[in-house]
Amino acid sequence: MAATTETFESTSPADGETIGVFPKQGVEDVDRAVARAKEAYARWRLVPAPKRGEILYRFARVLEEEKDALTELMTHEMGKVRAEAGGDVQEAIDITYYMAGEGRRLFGHTTPSELPDKWNMSVRTPVGVVGAITPWNFPIAIPSWKLIPALVCGNTVVLKPATDTPALAERFVGLLHEAGIPEDVVQIVHGGGSTVGDRMARHPDIRVITLTGSRETGVKVLEAGAETLKHVHLELGGKNAIIVMDDADLDLAVDGIVWSAFGTSGQRCTAASRVIAHERAYDALQKKLVERAEAMRLGPGWEADTDVGPVINKSALEKIDSYAKIGQDEGAKLLTGGEIATDGDLDKGFFYRPTVFADVDAQMRIAQEEIFGPVTAIIKVRDLDEAINVSNGIKYGLSSSIFTRDVNAAFRAMRDLEAGITYVNAGTIGAEVHLPFGGTKDTGNGHREAGQAALDVFTEWKSIYVDYSGKLQRAQIDD
């Protein structure tokens, strides 16, 4: 029960359909949820980790049963095309099966002691109440990346989902409860970042904040969290590049660019909003890419032949369009797109045509700033050294890619690209749940999601010494 009677609507970005009405909650609701989560933590942390894992295995099976329904809801509420929406749910299934297995591992370490008759070991312990702030672009996958490892480690969670996708968040949390997670262990609070999000970041009883969002929001959360010295995990922006060398398979490269630049309508932190093309591949690559972009069909995500769905809302649409104008004003050559799509029924939603710029200088704003839409910029380079320098010449460092048949060039790129993720002969998207996900530089603050690295966000190390010598042994004391 929300502290106020205020509500907000969730509507489809494809046609304005009302998805549902949700409580507009505030500070008092956060405080109440945190108090319940803190009380529940005292019990949940004592549930044996293998038993916590067993509940999560049940949740994975529930997700499998509900995959079609969640996919359908996502095409309406978030706007993803059906195949991508199904992939979003599948990521949640995959991470849940993976992390449920950690309930029987959660490995620590044992080491020999420097003293006789003494035993040394380290173990992982849960942290407490976790505050999770999640975005709308992966409304099932990203909550799963945060909540599932937090839960298997023995923490409780208060979730603030994006106000653009509250129905999906409600369903996700509801399914967790159906699978056997106690209701006080995972709670949801709807509301804006300036109220709900800010209170979570400052609340003294929330010990971990995990956020996926913009750099600007990340800085605010980090500053707010510093007041109570809480752990802050930030997954922020990207300005990712695909390098296409002159020996690359151009058709394969174009497949990778189209999928990376225009998948999810470009609304991914790993989207390829830059293409760095060797001068001998530049012209042919442009031609092939424009042909593919212009052949893509825009439409609602639930229609089987849709290639590109809507962007999330009107402000996103206007931001993308403003960057298309900025690119032209800067002197870049607009090859295709650069306009809001309004023909037919598209004017009922927020659709932007796949956009390709050429003759882009690496320092132009469209080559430096995150646009978060179906826009990519082609930059010409002379050689691999220049390509790597251009790829690295941004403030972000999330994902990177190179298309080449030269194994030496591939290994140099793997070593020298400043990014948390590097793909060879694939686009910039497609991370797997058993490897760490995250970036360098302004993409975050050094933590990772998924894989074993996720456990470090939601646990603390405890070192334990057991002395069975029967006498006081003083380490590092000279006799």
Question: Distance between CA 43 and CA 223 in Å, rounded?
Answer: 31
Among 68, 11, 3, 8, CA closest to 29: 3
Rounded CA separation 76/162 (Å): 15
Single out the catalytic residue among 102, 153, 269, 449. Answer: 269
Residue 288 · residue 250 · CB < 8 Å: yes
259: left (phi over 0), alpha (psi -120 to 50) or beta: alpha
Instruction: Give 365: exposed, middle or buried? Use CB within 10 Å, 0-12, 13-18, 19+.
Output: middle
Q: What's the gap between Cα 134 and its chain centre? A: 8
Catalytic site includes residue 235: yes
For CA atoms 153, 154, 155, 157, the dihedral sign is positive
- Confirm if 275 and 289 have CB atoms less than 8 A apart: yes
Say what angle helices 49-77 and 166-179 make with each other, to 10 degrees.
150
Q: What is the DSSP string of 196-258?
A: IIHHHHH-TTEEEEEEES-HHHHHHHHHHHHTTT-EEEEE----EEEEE-TTS-HHHHHHHHH
d(CA 321, CA 308): 16
Helix (H, G, I), strand (E, B) or coil at 313: coil
H or E stretch including 357?
strand 355-358
Catalytic residue among 66, 77, 102, 235: 235
**Residue indicated by tokens 């042909």:** 291
- Is the distance from CB of 235 to CB of 327 less than 8 angstroms? no
CA-CA distances (angstroms) from residue 311 to 53, 270, 374, 461?
Answer: 36, 16, 9, 42
Q: For this structure, is 269 an active site residue?
A: yes
CA 302 vs CA 83, 268, 332: distances in Å: 9, 19, 35
d(CA 433, CA 271): 18
List Cα–Cα distances, 390 to 101, 228, 256, 378, in angstroms: 41, 39, 19, 11
The strand pairing partners of 7, in sequence order, are 23
Tell me which residues are annotated as active site: 235, 269
